[in-house]
A and B are shown apart, each in its own frame.
Chain A
């Protein structure tokens, strides 16, 4: 997957847990929780969706690496994506 594909997949999962987020207005450096207002349940649902899609364990210790869209795309790109 190219970073562009990963980003598209990430945005798809993000907007499915938070349908009120407009992908066109999204800034990749916005903090998912502080700026976009995801709460811990939304974030966990996002991680669950990414886990399913990418087949990654995404342990809690790695959560800080998913703080923004840009960081998440890097994180997801490092793994042998399925």
Chain B
């Protein structure tokens, strides 16, 4: 029997709110299966399980906010017989809950020693169910965001979701049928709705995200002796090849320069493999696979850097497809925990409208960050004459505990080299 715990989704995470279970007791799971959804300051994240087995018992209830490491479920290993040991849990009564009562399970009643399940139990350190809302109302992130925007107290809204959870539609309906919304602003429980000036992803708490970024970046600057390199790359060949290639393709098959930059970086890492890895505890472990984090800026502020998993085995078109998928899921859907915790290096590319160069702060426990400024035409010596060529400034921020500038320079030079022959990428 093993315990499936609230995973840490990054150095900056202390707790998460269980949104839903995607498995039930008795289900068999394989390594990598998505078993639950947890809401964090990075949005809702799909949680994969890293051990095969069978779900013996779900301990945590949807709506509970739990610290990292708190038990979520008990798992039976393949072939393991059912045992009677109760789950390790403290059971303080929580007066407020909206979690639904569990249906009786026949398997459970066969074991009288097992404490009866109570919907109201809370785990150590657990907050009132219902996510960040102090009123204990169970609500979807979108509903919470909409309610906050409208200055609406969620306790006034009748939920139609699972366990009486308030859904976005419930909030919208309430707002429609109760035009005198202003009154609700005076309810003490209603958090003064700082209307988000910027348009952010629904359900994302910008203040939380800022705090999380600050925590991770402070740790980085405190622990990692950074060094920085910069190199201007003639991108004209890549630009010409990209234009010609895209001219032949329908929009859904087109490539972005960003895909070429990532592909070139991933390939260049073969020459300086020590830049790809993780520094955990007091040890650096180079990684065999390249899980390449890609910084995605959120409109309205904030940043998430989900990883393209196993990028070393992906050809250019596959890198592009993976980027599309990651950006789409970062904006509108769900990322998986492996994607936000298993990165081995990060690439940050400013795209067309950015500035010349960016000097990154390494995302711990990684040891390098490659940055690309905005490609633009510059006067450059080319074939013995000055010509207008599209250029990009590539930078490297790397960890001096693991590498030195001489090695780092090899990476940027190799990226340059590879981009001169884009057709071979």
Q: Which A residues are within 8 Å of any B CB, using their own CB?
A: 17-22, 25, 33-34, 36-37, 39-42, 44-45, 47-48, 50-52, 57-60
List A contacts of B199 (CB < 8 A). 20-22, 25
Q: Is the CB of A20 within 8 A of B202?
A: yes
Q: Is B77 an interface residue (CB 8 A)?
A: no
Q: Is the CB of B300 within 8 A of A20?
A: yes
List B contacts of A48 (CB < 8 A). 250-252
List B contacts of A22 (CB < 8 A). 199
CA gap between A52 and B247 in the complex, in Å: 17
Q: Is the CB of A44 within 8 A of B256?
A: yes
Q: A48-B251, A51-B252 are in contact. Are A18 and B331 (CB under 8 A)?
A: yes
List B contacts of A39 (CB < 8 A). 297, 327, 351
Most buried by A among B247, B297, B323, B331: B331
CA gap between A48 and B257 in the complex, in Å: 17
Q: Is the CB of A19 within 8 A of B332?
A: yes
CA gap between A69 and B48 in the complex, in Å: 40
Closest B residue by C-beta to A60 = B246
Q: A18-B331, A19-B331, A33-B352 are in contact. Are A52 and B254 (CB under 8 A)?
A: no
Q: Which B residues are within 8 Å of any A CB, using their own CB?
A: 199-202, 243, 246-247, 250-252, 254, 256-258, 297, 299-300, 323-324, 327-328, 331-332, 351-353
List A contacts of B243 (CB < 8 A). 60
List A contacts of B331 (CB < 8 A). 17-20, 42
Please give the distance in Å from A71's CB to the nearest CB on chain B. Answer: 17
Q: Is the CB of A41 within 8 A of B256?
A: yes
List B contacts of A18 (CB < 8 A). 299, 331
Please give the distance in Å from B333's CB to the nearest CB on chain A. Answer: 10
Closest B residue by C-beta to A22 = B199
Please give the distance in Å from A65's CB to the nearest CB on chain B. Answer: 14
Q: Is the CB of A52 within 8 A of B352?
A: no
- The 5 sampled A-B contact pairs (Cβ below 8 Å) are A19-B331, A20-B199, A20-B200, A41-B256, A45-B328
CA gap between A48 and B250 in the complex, in Å: 8
List A contacts of B328 (CB < 8 A). 17, 45
Most buried by B among A33, A36, A41: A41
Q: A20-B200, A22-B199, A60-B243 are in contact. Are A41 and B258 (CB under 8 A)?
A: yes
If A20-B299, A20-B331, A45-B324 are given as contacts, then 13 extra A-B residue pairs at C-beta distance below 8 Å, sorted by A number, are: A17-B331, A18-B331, A20-B199, A20-B201, A20-B300, A25-B199, A40-B256, A40-B258, A41-B327, A44-B256, A48-B252, A57-B250, A60-B247
CA gap between A50 and B199 in the complex, in Å: 23
CA gap between A42 and B199 in the complex, in Å: 15
CA gap between A18 and B299 in the complex, in Å: 9
Q: Is the CB of A59 within 8 A of B256?
A: no
CA gap between A19 and B353 in the complex, in Å: 21
Q: Is the CB of A44 within 8 A of B351?
A: no
Q: A20-B299, A21-B199, A60-B243 are in contact. Are A41 and B332 (CB under 8 A)?
A: no
List A contacts of B327 (CB < 8 A). 39, 41-42, 45
Please give the distance in Å from B220's CB to the nearest CB on chain A. Answer: 24
Q: Is the CB of B252 within 8 A of A52?
A: yes
Please give the distance in Å from B291's CB to the nearest CB on chain A. Answer: 19
Q: Is the CB of A19 within 8 A of B323?
A: no
CA gap between A40 and B324 in the complex, in Å: 11
Instruction: Among A19, A20, A40, A47, point to the contact of B352 (Cβ < 8 A).
Output: A40
List A contacts of B256 (CB < 8 A). 40-41, 44
Most buried by B among A25, A39, A42, A48: A39
List B contacts of A60 (CB < 8 A). 243, 246-247, 254
Instruction: Among B247, B257, B300, B323, point to the contact of A59 (Cβ < 8 A).
Output: B247
CA gap between A58 and B352 in the complex, in Å: 19
Most buried by A among B243, B299, B300: B299
Q: A21-B199, A41-B256, A60-B246 are in contact. Are A33 and B251 (CB under 8 A)?
A: no
Q: Is the CB of A51 within 8 A of B332?
A: no
Closest B residue by C-beta to A38 = B299
Closest B residue by C-beta to A61 = B247
Q: Is the CB of A44 within 8 A of B258?
A: no
List B contacts of A34 (CB < 8 A). 353
Please give the distance in Å from A50's CB to the nearest CB on chain B. Answer: 8
Please give the distance in Å from B127's CB to the nearest CB on chain A. Answer: 27
Please give the distance in Å from A18's CB to the nearest CB on chain B. Answer: 7
List B contacts of A33 (CB < 8 A). 352-353
